[in-house]
Structure 1
């Protein structure tokens, strides 16, 4: 079975497409891309755009921002745009909404940063606690150096317990009551 190879993203010669089905597919994709770019231009630059495109089947498609009729009328009569109070009010309201949303976003990002720091502190404390009580881990989970440290710590503990036991015995034997050691079960 032969593997079907794809042409992928290759440079396409700019010439009229002869096949009707390919022509329609290409038109649909390019039309949506054109309208998307026009919308981005309106959003980024605040321009007014009117685009009219006829499909290979002579079906009209249009895109307009703000209203396609007013833009075409302005173009045909060569009149400058009429600034209306409504447009200014809508623009001011939109800018206020954008400002409010930006403030909310900033607050949420600050809150997120604080929570991340708290999480890091908790994680750091958890790791410190694990390091502090590393000897409580199962022995087979300890590495070579941790096992050596455990051995040294146990030997140190044994030595300290021996000293402490000797000290307790000495204190008990130095007490005036001879029965005190037997009374508490030390001997």
Structure 2
């Protein structure tokens, strides 16, 4: 027998970065990447308590922006290179905002923990369900059973048929015995009455003679 030629493992290949030629594919890819980028920026701003601004351009040169807290103020501050003086009101606003961000981070951590617990619970339930299906394989559709399960099912049905026939025969015999005993009891009950009738008729004949 000829040895099977093993395919050489190519490993992780480098994907060349080229522009997508089809416009429809390009637009769909841009929409997905833009949504993912804005989502990551929002998570970063919430978790770290930073101000962030992003501007992206679509293949049709349409601008899309995201900013936390306000994209215009962030852009103006970036372009002017002159940060506004930090007054007492601004410090109070920042402190309040940081407190809110800290509270939101705690809630987010708690929700993520609950989500992880529910995910593990769902996986455990799936495993239990699969194990239950394996144990109760006879409840599956016949088309999904293998040759081994079909043979076991056939033997089980034959055994069930045998037991049903034995039980039916037993019930039939018991019902016949019950009917026989009822007939005998009825005959025994009526026999004394018949003998007395015969005796009385004989005496009647004797007196007549």
- Which structure has the larger Rg? 2
* TM-score (norm. length: structure 1): 0.42
TM score, norm. by length of structure 2: 0.38
